[in-house]
């Protein structure tokens, strides 16, 4: 169900962007249809993420984690372990600096 809705909203977003870029509104009078499609797709996707993910912070639910480096990976020295300050989600990544 959620996966299907994700596809539908992604399609809205894509269709809106294509209509906008293709300049279809110069030929046909679409009013604000491309913008409405983009907005609906975007809002729909964010709502899905908010409802679907269980992180306590709303920003974390839409994937905007606030990562902070906590330690170095024990097996691969080039990798660092990052942890989100809000939800505690961890990831490993190479050092940015
Ligand atoms: Zn987080």
How far apart are the CA of 36 and the centre of ligand 1, in A?
30
pLDDT digit string (tens) for the chain, length 97 residues: 778 888 999 999 999 999 888 877 667 777 788 889 999 999 999 998 888 888 878 899 888 999 999 998 888 888 999 999 999 999 998 875 5
How far apart are the CA of 18 and the centre of ligand 1, in A?
33
Report the SS3 class of residue 57. coil
How far apart are the CA of 60 and the centre of ligand 1, in A?
4
In angstroms, rounded to a whole number, what is the distance separating the alpha carbons of residues 84 and 56?
12
In angstroms, rounded to a whole number, what is the distance separating the alpha carbons of residues 65 and 88?
9
The verdict on pTM exceeding 0.85 is no
How far apart are the CA of 89 and the centre of ligand 1, in A?
6
Of 68, 97, 93, 72, residue with least CA distance to 83: 68
How far apart are the CA of 30 and the centre of ligand 1, in A?
40
Give the helix/strand (H/E) hosting 6: helix 2-22
């Amino acid at each position: 169900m959620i996966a299907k809705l994700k596809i539908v909203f992604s399609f809205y977003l894509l269709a809106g962007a294509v209509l906008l870029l293709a300049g279809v509104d110069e030929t046909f009078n679409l009013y604000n249809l491309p913008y409405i499609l983009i907005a609906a797709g975007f809002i729909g996707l964010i709502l899905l993420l908010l409802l679907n993910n269980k992180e306590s912070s709303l920003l974390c639910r839409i994937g905007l984690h606030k990562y902070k480096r906590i330690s170095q990976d024990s097996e691969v020295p080039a990798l660092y372990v990052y942890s989100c300050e809000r939800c505690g989600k961890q990831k490993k990544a190479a050092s940015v600096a």
